[in-house]
A and B are shown apart, each in its own frame.
Chain A
Amino acid sequence: MSHVGVARAAVAVPRRRPGMPPYLWLLLPSALFIALFFALPFATVIVASFQHGPLHPQAGQLTLRNHWRFVRDGYYWLVVARTFGLGLGVAAVCVLLGYPCAYAIARSTSRWKAIYIFLVISPLVTSIVIRSYAWIVLLGQNGILNTLLLEHGILEQPLHLIYNWTGVVIALTHVLLPYSILSIASVLETIDPRIEEAARVLGASRWRTLWRITLPLSVEGIGTAAILVFMLGIGSFVTVWLLGGTGTTVLSLLIYQQITVAFDNNFAAVLGTFLVVSSAVILYAGARCFRVRGRDHVAG
């Protein structure tokens, strides 16, 4: 390589070259894809929510009728309350059940660690449809649990475990628990175990160490896990459909029914917009709240 070559190469290092920045070309394909197949479709939904349906005499014209219908009817607010209630409930259960397991994964150094992770990931990578089916097989009226309990004379009548909230919460916990375990574990792994050891050496009990050291340091992981499970919970569709009943209709199912049964795409658009906007607001608020609090704890 000649001197000229070296000089040219040095000049050509992209960071120093004037003119059209190369990152624009690199970002262009993904930006185009997201714009065309993500942003544009959402814009279509928002527009549709303000339009009359195709069967209306003023089809396609702008209206607030769909929004008014949503705001006015108490049933839709009940569905909203169910949706967020389910998200909160499942988030709480997943964080509580997942934290000890995440702790075990983060603190394990032996070959058990790979086995733990495998056991957590194997349900995560199994289809949600299959996992929901598994719970129907287990908990159904003629399912495995009821059959065993009846055959052994423990029960007289089968338990009603599916097509209600019980089934939905059990199956959704099963679906979302791995997410909470992995999010909490990834934060716990960044905490130096020597901090805990120092607390123990200085005389703190195990509970006090957990309460005063480990939990505060992992607040960000708990927050991430809670937000993630909440978001996935309020958007969950397959599990609630298969294990729920008429009393567990949530927003995602209502949207599906509006499209496939009621053929009211414009009202489905109102529900979809509401679901997206409310989850974006909650995501933003939650992320801010937990990031700030996490930093405070580390600083203090």
Chain B
Amino acid sequence: MSRVDWGRLGLGGYLALLFFFLVAPLLIVAVVSFNPEAVVRFPPRGFSLHWFRAVIESATLVQAIANSLRLGALATAISILVAVPAAVALGRYDVPGKHVVEALLLSPLSLPMIVLGIALLFLYSRLGLGLSFGGLLAAHVVITIPYILRCVLAVYRGLDPSLEDSARVLGATPWRAFRRVTWPLLRPGIVAGSIFSFLISFDNVPVSIFLTTPPTTTLPVAILSQIVYSFEPTIAAVSTLEMVAVVVGLWLVEQFYGLRQFTAFGAQ
């Protein structure tokens, strides 16, 4: 006779509740966005794509989506160019004060973002620069550098340093050794870091809210200002679009790299 395993059953029930708590709000937003009425209602009475059309027809939201995509992509690209060499330096060389250097480069992770937002606002106004896309981009590069650095360093620490040395001893130029040996080995870290970096940039409010102007406004800032004034389902529709994009993105990552590494990289 097998006894009922209460411990396992309890844990299973608990997990079901917890995942319901985590995912249900997102699903409800998605369901609400197909509501034909102008009030948010659940369950919806009918099915309509009206609010999705409203998103496409909203010049503000379309502009904000384009801005956020461009900002996230550019910030991530620059961050890779800046942070991968730093990760190589910290992973490969005996840099004096290595831990201090690493802590300094990672410090944007651990400080409240809103203070970085006002700090850059003060700096730009003191320098008489005003608010530009360039200034916003620089801010986002600073926010995203730690994510790339962390992910690439995590991969680098697991590598055998003699691989690159072997390539060099066998006659490869430093550039060739990097391109043919180190780069392919680092690529999973760079991919994971880029995904994080893009999402962090795409989602940022506390820095962007101080540095954007109507023409450079980002999607979360635009959604936020709409929520403050109204609750109409256009916001639910644009949120649904964003969630679908993220789920597809995650599925692609799972196909190519596996989500498991996120437990290692995701825990900041």
On A, residues with C-beta under 8 Å from B are 1, 5-6, 9-10, 12-15, 21-27, 29-31, 33-34, 36-38, 40-42, 44-45, 48, 97, 100-101, 103-105, 113-114, 116-138, 140, 142-144, 147-148, 174, 177-179, 182-183, 185-186, 189, 206, 224-225, 228, 231, 234-235, 237-238, 242, 252, 255-256, 259, 265, 268-269, 272, 275-276, 279-280, 283
Contact = CB atoms under 8 A, between A and B. Distances in A.
Contact residues on B (Cβ < 8 Å of other chain), bracket: 35 or more
A119 B114 contact: no
Contacts of A30: 82-83, 85-86, 105, 145, 149
Given A97-B18, A118-B254, A183-B267, A41 B93 contact: no
B192 to A, nearest CB: 12
Per DSSP, chain B at the interface is helix
Contacts of A27: 85-86, 89-90, 95, 101
B120 interface: yes
B158 interface: no
A130 B118 contact: no
A41 B116 contact: yes
A38 B170 contact: no
A252 B205 CA distance: 12
A137 B32 contact: yes
Interface stretch (B46-54, B55-63, B121-129, B180-188): B121-129
Nearest to B139: A37
B131 to A, nearest CB: 13
Contacts of A127: 202-203, 219-220, 223, 239, 242
Contacts of A148: 42
A279 B215 CA distance: 34
Contact of A12 (B111, B112, B168, B264): B168
Contacts of A24: 89
Nearest to A272: B115
